[in-house]
Structure 1
Amino acid sequence: MAEANIPKKNLHALLIPYPFQGHVNPCVHLAIKLASQGITVTFVNTDYIHHQITSNPINGSSSGDIFAGFRSESGLDIRYATVSDGLPIGFDRSLNHDQYQASLLHVFSAHVEELVARLAGDGDGGVNVLIADTFFVWPSAIARKFGLVYVSFWTEAALVFSLYYHMDLLRLHGHFCSQGRRKDLIDYIPGVKAIEPKDTASYLQDTDTSSVVHQIIFKAFEDVKKADFVLCNTIYEFEDRTIQALNSKIPFYAIGPIIPFGIKNKTVTTSLWSEADCTQWLNTKPKGSVLYVSFGSYAHVTKHDLVEIAKGLLLSRVNFVWVVRPDIVSSEENNPLPDGFETEAENFGIVIPWCCQMTVLSHPSIGGFLTHCGWNSILESIWCEVPLICFPLLTDQVTNRKLVVDDWKIGMNLCEDRSLVAKEEVATNISRLMCGKSREEVKGAIGRVKMSLENALSPTGSSDQNLGLFIDGLMDKAHKSNGHV
């Protein structure tokens, strides 16, 4: 393992997250992890993401550097920059999702290239490593143009990466991009146990693959095959066979979990919305009695499903904290909850627009998490030993549900048929998770899975060892590229 705080002479990495909350969060903590190993990191947010984070009064000045406080406390060399994503700051990216994605696909790279040209030309201290989210389509071209080592950062499970990486096999076998798509088991992806098509990422189940998101996925997974290294926010013990198979094709390092451990001394603010503090309310509830409900920062829920879930919560009579962000249905829908919902629930539930998730999950009164199955949420739940009720909405969440419910047994489905959300089934499954035999089974399983996370992060654990191997490889690659590292 590379020793912490030993400067890695001339290693200066530009780190660019995909501009969504669920991608920015792990990238911030990756920056801290790498800087702790002596690597200079320049973290790049889009102007819009920077504005969202810093315009909230609780988060500080709009002209601020989100790492300023952390840098002064830690002494780590983490710098900060912003670039345009090609759209005005006031543009409604939630309401105009496709236009936003198209700008990231076609326009964003020109702004990044201007920044790289400036920072890569700073002499011996200049940027010589580009770490970019795997969903970007341009990193290999920019890295090649400026002679940078290219590291791709995958923020999801290795299983999902492998399915995307092998889209050619899925096409060849008729499980993707074909009329009359096959429904039988997919049993030919290297290192992946047989998986049902319904458990692949939602974009791999679509019959229409002409969308801007599909264009991004296709181009991104052509580009990642040109990366020098891939870092993944998972642990080897979760996905050993899949990671071994990927390593035969590309240097692939599992260095997770990359999650916000230090919640008490949180000096890097990443939230795009003002965070409500519900700690005092939670303090009034018995241990393990509260269900935390959140569907993440990005995916939308239909009005029908949201109403049925709301009615199911009321029927269950379980204590709950529900994060209902302003655009959960649409940014044009001001109040998507049923009339009178909060009044009816006032003795046992509260609704908030946003919160610090780790603060809530780590509170002793939390006994379960009704989740969209985002990968960050799953890792954070495991770390806090909070069992899950799964309601996947799109993208990798569908596959993550399989891992949680079918493979690891640390949660259960909200509805057996995702297309038929009904308040009675919602209430029944919430009750199953929060009390009784089912609860004891998932609690025991999640305790065992957490031990794997803890072991991976120990000084002799797989993630710590993999980080060291990655840094050694990075040093060697940069030495060959630059001749002086």
Structure 2
Amino acid sequence: MNEMEKSNTKPHAVLFCYPLQGHVIPSVHLAVKLASKGFTITFVNTKYIHHHINKSKSKPNHTSKDDDDDEDDIFAGIRNSTLDIRYATIDDGYPLGFDRSLNHDQFWDGFKYVFPAHVDELVGNIVRKHSQPPLTCLIADTFFTWSSMIASKYNLVNISFWTEPALVLTLYYHLDLLIQNRHFGASHDNRKDTIDYIPGVPEIDPKDLMSYLQATDPRTTVHKIIFRAFADVKKADFIVINTVQELESMTISALQQKQPTYAIGPIFPSGFAKSIVPTSLWSESHCTHEWLSTKPHNSVLYVSFGSYAHACKKDIEEIAEGLLLSKVSFIWVLRPDIVSSDENDILPVGYEEAIKGRGLIVPWCSQIEVISHPAIGGFITHCGWNSILESIWCKIPLLAYPLLTDQFTNRKLVVDDWKIGVNLIDSKPINRKEIAEKINRVMSGKLGDELKKNIMEARNCVENALGHGGSSETMFSRFLSDVNTQIEKLRGV
């Protein structure tokens, strides 16, 4: 077989990343993982996401045009003869300066109409230009609404990539059952009884549903996207999930009865080191490691509420005072827009002076670098799925403070099912004394010891899944084989 023939037999996937920080990270790592197994990947970001990733990087002084060209490609640092990852950006329909957070509904409403046309144009161009190897697969985040249409139009294997736990996927997947049983939808009557009819889910309390499924008005822009996306995912050839079979075995098994589904997570960068491929939309503070190195092991609490969700100013103030009362050392990642894009003065007057030496507040940091430091002993988290998986790997007990969407359901897994964390507060309104008490119980009490024991078991489970012959490695190999079989079917081989 000559080089051209070899090239033509390689699978070539175009991978569309959902334009949110929590989706960018696992999508980049999936692209690298697939490329390391012989895939050609064309990775697609929106121009807005690409702009913010490049803007967030600390840029050295460039001495050549080639250096400047590298700034246009986030994969430039890892591209070599064995990894064939190509990079493209497309418009999301809005100017770069448009505040997508402040104008949330307007952005997503336009995005769902405009973006598919740009996707169609890009995929069509790749196909018409007869790329080598030829395009064979479409990998799209499950939240996209157009995947089956594009895959069918260009005769591509349709792969849906789910970046959250299987529990969240199956709840969205069975929206019809929630509507029929009046736990959600137009006839929603705020039922409080336990939901026990979802395949693969023994039972779940309505308060543990995703925030969008707790909403009383199902006619919003986001709901329209959810309805279309989870009708579309049922047409996918394969579903790939960033989770671990043993952590969600019953749920995954039930999904596998519906469609070919593969739990291949957690999808981390090699060696759980900071990724060489830049993925952060925010400039990262570089002072955290030096500061942490002055602290005893397991003595520092890490606090972060992720990249997207907002909190109210009153809650931020109570958390700030609770941290102060606890007398525990802490690093707090406090995004400038945590309350709102146009609200900057969010901490109590004189707060940073009051915590001097004991607390460090940064706008953003490399979370992997911080939580893998031996000084970290606990994590107040919004319960984003990436944060949960990273904390399990680093054996860091959690204090859960969910804010939005899947975070409420993720909290159930962390606190109720796996018992690797506790609620930061048990009921609202949020209270500084309760916060301080919970922090101390996790950082230095018997509760902390129990959580550490449970999280060690979870870490062993995850490590085994990723190891030779483990469930995630086995599932990934099966996925690759099944994709190649499906490619041959589409080619008529």
- 1:3 alignment partner in structure 2: none
Per-residue deviation at 1:436?
Answer: 1.2
What is the SS of the residue equivalent to 2:439?
helix
The 1:151/1:226 distance shift into structure 2, 3 A limit, reads same
AA aligned opposite 1:50? H
Q: TM-score, normalised by structure 2?
A: 0.94
| Cα distance in 2, alignment partners of residues 401 and 280 from structure 1 | 31
Query: Which of 144, 162, 171 is 1:154 aligned to?
Result: 162
- 1:345 alignment partner in structure 2: 355
- 1:212 alignment partner in structure 2: 221
Residue ranges of structure 1 left out of the alignment (5+ in a row): 1-5
- Please state if 1:200 is matched with 2:200: no
- Please state if 1:439 is matched with 2:439: no
| Cα distance in 2, alignment partners of residues 226 and 40 from structure 1 | 24
| Cα distance in 1, alignment partners of residues 431 and 25 from structure 2 | 33
Per-residue deviation at 1:420?
Answer: 1.3
| Cα distance in 1, alignment partners of residues 51 and 84 from structure 2 | 23
2:35–2:83 Cα contact (<8 Å) kept: yes
Per-residue deviation at 1:261?
Answer: 4.5
- Please state if 1:395 is matched with 2:405: yes
- Please state if 1:47 is matched with 2:47: yes
- 1:327 alignment partner in structure 2: 337
- 2:63 alignment partner in structure 1: none
- 1:480 alignment partner in structure 2: 489
Per-residue deviation at 1:364?
Answer: 0.4
The 1:410/1:438 distance shift into structure 2, 3 A limit, reads same
User: What's the CA shift string for 1:193-222, capped at 9, x where partnerless?
Assistant: 111111111111111111111011000001
AA aligned opposite 1:225? K
User: What's the CA shift string for 1:259-284, capped at 9, x where partnerless?
Assistant: 23445463201100110021000000
- 1:17 alignment partner in structure 2: 17
User: What's the CA shift string for 1:343-401, capped at 9, x where partnerless?
Assistant: 10012001000001000000000000000000000000000000000000011100111
- Please state if 1:370 is matched with 2:380: yes
| Cα distance in 2, alignment partners of residues 209 and 439 from structure 1 | 40
- Please state if 1:243 is matched with 2:252: yes
AA aligned opposite 1:184? D
Query: Which of 252, 260, 279 is 2:261 aligned to?
Result: 252
What is the SS of the residue equivalent to 2:79?
helix
AA aligned opposite 2:330? F
What is the SS of the residue equivalent to 1:68?
coil
| Cα distance in 2, alignment partners of residues 77 and 225 from structure 1 | 30
The 1:59/1:476 distance shift into structure 2, 3 A limit, reads farther
The 1:11/1:261 distance shift into structure 2, 3 A limit, reads closer
1:263–1:359 Cα contact (<8 Å) kept: no
| Cα distance in 1, alignment partners of residues 381 and 343 from structure 2 | 21
Per-residue deviation at 1:75?
Answer: 3.0
| Cα distance in 2, alignment partners of residues 247 and 130 from structure 1 | 20
- Please state if 1:130 is matched with 2:138: yes
Query: Which of 71, 76, 81 is 2:79 aligned to?
Result: 71
- 1:290 alignment partner in structure 2: 300
2:36–2:83 Cα contact (<8 Å) kept: yes
Query: Which of 365, 387, 405 is 1:355 aligned to?
Result: 365
- 1:38 alignment partner in structure 2: 38
2:274–2:369 Cα contact (<8 Å) kept: no
2:179–2:188 Cα contact (<8 Å) kept: no
Query: Greater CA deviation, 391-400 or 61-70?
Result: 61-70
| Cα distance in 1, alignment partners of residues 25 and 19 from structure 2 | 10
AA aligned opposite 1:348? R
- Number of aligned residues: 477
Per-residue deviation at 1:57?
Answer: 4.6
Query: Greater CA deviation, 206-215 or 371-380?
Result: 206-215
Matches within 5 A, 1:93-132: 93-123=100-130, 125-132=133-140
User: What's the CA shift string for 1:399-456, capped at 9, x where partnerless?
Assistant: 1111101111101000001x31111111111111101100100001000000010010
- 1:145 alignment partner in structure 2: 153
| Cα distance in 2, alignment partners of residues 265 and 179 from structure 1 | 44
Query: Which of 69, 89, 99 is 1:82 aligned to?
Result: 89
AA aligned opposite 2:171? L
| Cα distance in 2, alignment partners of residues 120 and 346 from structure 1 | 58
What is the SS of the residue equivalent to 1:79?
strand
2:195–2:206 Cα contact (<8 Å) kept: yes
| Cα distance in 1, alignment partners of residues 417 and 17 from structure 2 | 29
- 1:26 alignment partner in structure 2: 26
User: What's the CA shift string for 1:296-338, capped at 9, x where partnerless?
Assistant: 0000011111010001000111100000111111110123111
What is the SS of the residue equivalent to 2:9?
coil
RMSD over aligned CA atoms reads: 1.5
- 2:390 alignment partner in structure 1: 380
AA aligned opposite 1:469? R
- 1:271 alignment partner in structure 2: 280
What is the SS of the residue equivalent to 1:151?
strand
Per-residue deviation at 1:242?
Answer: 0.8
| Cα distance in 2, alignment partners of residues 98 and 230 from structure 1 | 28
| Cα distance in 2, alignment partners of residues 459 and 272 from structure 1 | 34
- 2:234 alignment partner in structure 1: 225
Matches within 5 A, 1:180-199: 180-199=189-208
| Cα distance in 1, alignment partners of residues 7 and 59 from structure 2 | 31
- Please state if 1:280 is matched with 2:290: yes
Query: Greater CA deviation, 59-68 or 349-358?
Result: 59-68
AA aligned opposite 1:176? F
Q: TM-score, normalised by structure 1?
A: 0.96
1:8–1:38 Cα contact (<8 Å) kept: no
| Cα distance in 2, alignment partners of residues 43 and 57 from structure 1 | 19
Query: Which of 157, 175, 181 is 1:167 aligned to?
Result: 175
- Please state if 1:407 is matched with 2:414: no
The 1:8/1:236 distance shift into structure 2, 3 A limit, reads farther
1:186–1:194 Cα contact (<8 Å) kept: yes
- 2:65 alignment partner in structure 1: none
The 1:235/1:179 distance shift into structure 2, 3 A limit, reads closer
| Cα distance in 2, alignment partners of residues 296 and 203 from structure 1 | 18
Share of identical aligned residues, percent?
Answer: 57
| Cα distance in 2, alignment partners of residues 442 and 226 from structure 1 | 40
1:7–1:38 Cα contact (<8 Å) kept: no
